[in-house]
Amino acid sequence: MQNTSVQPAMQKASELSKERIYLDNAATTPLDKEVMEAMIPYMSTHFGNPSSIYSYGRETRMAIEAARKEVAKLLGARPGEIFFTSGGTESNNTAIAAAIRDLGCRHIISSAIEHHAVLHTVEHYGHDQNISTSNVQLLANGEVDYNDLEEQLKNGSQKTLVTLMHGNNEIGTLLDIKRVGELCKKYDAILHSDCVQTVGHYPVDLSSVHIHFISAAGHKFHGPKGTGILYVNGSVNIKPFIIGGGQERNMRAGTENVYGIVGFAKALEKAMRNYEVDSSYIKGLRNYMMERLTQEIAGLSFNCSEQSLYTILSVGFPKTERSEFLLFNLDINNICASGGSACSSGTDVGSHVMRALNKTENTVTIRFSFSKYNTQEEIELVVLKLKELI
């Protein structure tokens, strides 16, 4: 826990009031300087096509393979299990498509609070008359009901794909991925997990989990946008997902995003190197905000538990005429936060996650999400501004 003495924080807060405060780090994060520095040579001097056989090509090929090795080591995987992609959406689409097309899955178990990159992909395949879909039941706090998952797996008659996110991007609930892996093993199901909100924020050791696919995205942990990975367990045999040249071991054709790949690996390496310090700092900010909000504003609720992502604080404000325009007013006051993944224009157009959890009727939900670059003074300013706006 941080220094919670409010006075100095309040003083600094007033100095900061002219600047923008970014509390939407679950949407994306700024690029880390060290990451940018690692990328720059691959935008300038080291520009060769990795498929070229001469030295320019060889140096970029080596950079890609070094990045793959690094990412694999950090995730407890083998280099051959890591495929570089354009981000979380592509990786999620690919895993779900491959499970159906190449692994014979005919039923998909998912949840109503997945990111749209999974939710809409599952819906898309669900329109195929040969594919059925079902959602796992959720507890009131958004956690998966593991008994229901087991019941569904036990009673299923077709090869099943389970796709459940590791950390929810709106409310921060965490999946017990090991437990789900064991259930999938028991019932011979394929498991994919959208780990976009957890890779780079938690140590992930895939060697100890029974899992077939995971997705991650670099821009959630101070890496570059448009970069990600799909982990495909070595026991799984899938067909190419983009057809053309032989890149990514014939799985994803197209000249590689060399500087993006280098940036992804560097960002993950740095995130894991500094995990202890950064995570306890960010946790401290989140706890401070909870504490101060509770002190300053009556009738709040928090959509989280001790087990939730430390990077996210989802706050329910009592619905009033003023609170309905809260996001909009925060924006006018240079405070960037989010109403959920469906929020597009500064007004809260509604969150499928909050709807699924029946939390829209009397509550306006705002998600604040933190990074190592936020400060206690910023949090203080936001709390005071919220108090004023409410």
Q: Is 32 in the site for ligand PLP (CB under 6 A)?
A: no
Interface residue with ligand PLP among 228, 260, 263, 339 (CB under 6 A) is 228
Q: Is 40 helix (H, G, I), strand (E, B) or coil?
A: helix
Residue pair 168/353 in contact (Cβ under 8 Å)? The answer is: yes
Each residue 249-278 as x (binds ligand PLP by CB under 6 A) or -, in order, gives: ------------------------------
**Beta-bridge partners for 160:** 107
- Residue 50 or 87 having the CB closest to ligand PLP: 87
Q: How far apart are CA 215 and CA 193, in angstroms?
A: 7
Q: How many of the chain's residues bind ligand PLP (CB under 6 A)?
A: 12
Put the strands of the sheet holding 160-163 in their side by side order.
82-85, 228-232, 213-217, 190-194, 160-163, 107-110, 132-135
Please give the full DSSP string across 345-369, using - where no structure is assigned: SSS----HHHHHTT-SSSEEEEEEE
Interface residue with ligand PLP among 61, 107, 115, 222 (CB under 6 A) is 115
Phi, psi of 202, rounded to the nearest 5 degrees: -140, 150
Q: Is 217 in the site for ligand PLP (CB under 6 A)?
A: yes
Interface residue with ligand PLP among 89, 94, 257, 329 (CB under 6 A) is 89
- Residue 152 or 369 having the CB closest to ligand PLP: 369
**Measured over all CA atoms, what is the biggest interatomic distance in the chain, rounded to whole angstroms?**
67
Burial of 158 (0-12, 13-18, 19+ CB in 10 A): exposed
Q: Is 88 in the site for ligand PLP (CB under 6 A)?
A: yes
- HEC assignment per residue over 50-68: CCCCCHHHHHHHHHHHHHH
For residue 200, give the nearest of 214, 217, 212 by alpha carbon.
217
Stretch that binds ligand PLP, among 83-91, 104-112, 133-141, 286-294 (CB under 6 A): 83-91
Q: How far is the CB of 266 from ligand PLP (least distance, A)?
A: 17
- Residue 85 or 329 having the CB closest to ligand PLP: 85
Question: What DSSP state is assigned to residue 212?
Answer: S
Q: How far is the CB of 321 from ligand PLP (least distance, A)?
A: 30
Stretch that binds ligand PLP, among 16-24, 66-74, 81-89, 101-109 (CB under 6 A): 81-89
Interface residue with ligand PLP among 25, 121, 169, 303 (CB under 6 A) is 169
Q: Is 229 in the site for ligand PLP (CB under 6 A)?
A: no
Q: How far is the CB of 255 from ligand PLP (least distance, A)?
A: 20
Amino acid at 179: R
Q: How many CB atoms lie within 10 A of CB 307?
A: 11
Question: What DSSP state is assigned to residue 319?
Answer: P
Q: How far is the CB of 114 from ligand PLP (least distance, A)?
A: 8
Q: Is 165 in the site for ligand PLP (CB under 6 A)?
A: yes
Of 179-208, binders to ligand PLP (CB under 6 A) are 194, 196-197
Q: Is 87 in the site for ligand PLP (CB under 6 A)?
A: yes
Residue that is written with structure tokens 């203080």 in the block: 380
Q: Clarify whether 105 is annotated catalytic.
A: no
Paired tokens of 234:
């070595």
Catalytic positions are: 343
For ligand PLP, the binding residues (CB under 6 A) are 87-89, 115, 117, 165, 169, 194, 196-197, 217, 228
